[in-house]
Structure 1
Amino acid sequence: MSPMPFTQPSAGPSRQPAAFRDIAVIANDLPCDSAALATAAALARHHGAELDVVQVLAMPLSAVDAWSLVPDPACVERYAQIREAAAKRALAFQRGLPPLGVEGRVLTFEAYGESPAGIAATAARRADLSVIARPDGPPSDASRVHDVFAALLLESGRPVLLVPAGHASPSLPPRHAVIAWSDTREAARAVHDALPLLASAETVDILMVDPVASFLEDTASFGSVLAAHLERHGVTARIVTETSRGRLVAGVILDRASRAKAQLIVAGGYGHSRLREWVIGGTTRNLFFDTPVPILFSH
């Protein structure tokens, strides 16, 4: 049998990036959950996506003898209270979706001796994007949410959109965006994952802080390869280089985002180990706690 002849397509390849079709909102039983839901709903309306609101219940373990066949009555009562409160939250979320103009469902999981953050990350693998809000209340709340955020970023295999509390009226998709670019796997993944958000932006800055020459680019052409790649996807970007001069890289990124009036930052997350960032700090951690605008992270 002779091979089938190659036929050139009559039309050129589409330059429209794939849209988000399933978005997971990770609820943490905090007031800032409303900011995550509002942001996710705005994206869902734009992309025609459906929402999964995910809540994971940390179920306490009984302190009685592990060999006992009789459940601890106090623990059983506590389970009932946790489930009742979760059911009320789920009903409120479900009733809140139609007014936001989106369709979706509420998924409730129970964690017995397992990491609630890990369960949330597993649930997020079925979505194109997960959205989580950073609280502005007690540091303990922010630390708890940071643990969930880190699990999503490192274990879900999906991008994570971080929304600061108080960002209940998001400008997404963004008119102005900043890409925190470095020649790393994480940053490359973030740019790719952010294409559906960057496609309609009026301005996109490729920001490089203290860039280093490589075999792909010398100092005279920093960012040009990425700019050309984005151009082929219909995204026009301008190149910006900054010198840190002893400042934290996260501070340089946030300063540029402020000057560019960016509604979105795109960044790779945890290029160093999470333990290293926890011990001595790092750009991902600093951006998480300090950003005033949403950030799309990928790992």
Structure 2
Amino acid sequence: MSTETSRHAVTGTSRQPAPTPARFHDVLALGTSVAPWSPALLAAIDIAARWSGNVTGCYVPGCLRELRALEDEPTVLSLLSDAGYECLDDANAFQTYAQNHGARYAAWMVTRTAIAPTLRKLGAWHDLAVLERDMVDETRLFDILGEAMLSCRIPCLILPPAWNQPLSFRRIVVAWNGSFESTRALHSALPLLQLASDITLVNGHAREPRPSQLSVAQPDPMIYLMHHGVAAKPRYLDVPTDEAGNALLDRVHHEAADLLVMGGYGHSRIRERVLGGATRHILAHASIPVFMQH
């Protein structure tokens, strides 16, 4: 054994191969218009094209956008309204547009059910969903779009109202507090984080387990990102819980971020899902796209 080989064997410092780039293979968008294509559809095509991935466009008729999951019924109105959007011309036009802009494969469909069950069912086949925050009325933002995001089990990229800009992932802020939700969001966002040139990890207070719970040590997020080829600068957030959402948006503004990555928090009450305070604040007030996962 050579001296160099022996030294590496003893110290464990042998060169490791570069991390394999993460990617989104299948991207879903819930769209609100076809002429022109709505922002979520354009954004999903853009993301899929970055990895030559597949994109599914799903049109949600206007009469179904205000239905909560518990109100979802196949009424005559929902079956007949906007029937023209299911025509073959729209499918062909979407497939042609998406493939001309870099997607490997494109599919088009029209839902006949509410947003939450649509996203849950189609989300099981996709790595990421793209939503428009203003696809629902502001007064029903939390109980419709919030419920959909919390129940679909996949990460969602939520576009702010009237979004009409190209997506950029150059500067990203990641909110992490040691919770399961924030860790899943960080992990799921790796394809976008690997595109960024400036990443800020905002480290808030981790939730302390109850004494009766089994404590398990978890990786350091900075080291985890480094192992995936992502360099981040740490920042710490020490504010009361009810101020966390506003403080996080202040940090986003300070960093001139293009994207915020965070966990989506909620808890169940009697037959309904309730969003946590920080999630509600970010969902209501963010002026940039938010990558969120429950």
TM-score bucket of the superposed structures, by smaller chain: 0.7 to 0.9
Query: Does residue 206 of structure 1 match 2:195?
Result: no
Q: What's the counterpart of residue 19 of structure 2?
A: 15
State whether structure 2 residue 197 is matched by structure 1 residue 196.
no
1:266 alignment partner, one of 258, 261, 265 = 261
Q: Does the C-alpha gap of structure 1 residues 89 and 235 become closer, same or farther in structure 2, counting only changes over 3 Å?
A: same
> 189-198 or 153-162: which moved more?
153-162
CA distance in 2, matches of 1:33, 1:248: 37
- 1:170 Cα deviation (Å)? 2.9
For residues 216-272 of structure 1, the C-alpha deviation after alignment (integer angstroms, 9 at most, x for no partner) is: xxxxxxx99211111111111111113336862111111111111111111000154
Which blocks of at least 5 consecutive residues in structure 1 are unaligned? 1-9, 63-74, 215-222
1:51 positional shift: 0.7
Q: Taking structure 2 as the reference length, what is the TM-score of the superposition?
A: 0.75
The Cα of 1:212 is off from its aligned counterpart by: 7.4
* Structure 2: 5+ residue stretches without partners: 1-13, 65-71, 210-217
1:126 aligns with 2:125: yes
Q: Does 1:26 align with 2:30?
A: yes
Give the 3 Å change call, closer, same or farther, for CA 183–33 of structure 1 in structure 2. Answer: farther
For residues 196 and 54 of structure 1, what CA distance do their matches in structure 2 show? 23
The residue aligned with 1:290 is: 285
State the identity %: 27
* Displacement after TM superposition at 1:41 (Å): 1.9
Residue equivalent to 1:162: 158
The match for 2:230 is 235
Q: Which shows bigger deviation, 176-185 or 153-162?
A: 153-162
Q: Say which SS state the counterpart of residue 265 (structure 2) adopts.
A: coil
Work out whether residues 211 and 241 of structure 1, in 8 Å CA contact, stay in contact via their aligned partners in 2.
no
**1-structure distance, mates of 2:33, 2:142:** 14
The superposition leaves residues 35-83 of structure 1 with CA deviations (integer Å, 9 ceiling, x where unpaired) of 2122222211111111101234549756xxxxxxxxxxxx48x744431
- 2:108 aligned with 1:106, yes or no? yes
Task: Report the count of equivalent residues.
Answer: 260
Deviations 1:188-220 (A, max 9, x none): 000000011001211111113456789xxxxxx
RMSD: 3.4
2: CA distance, partners of 1:92 / 1:127? 22
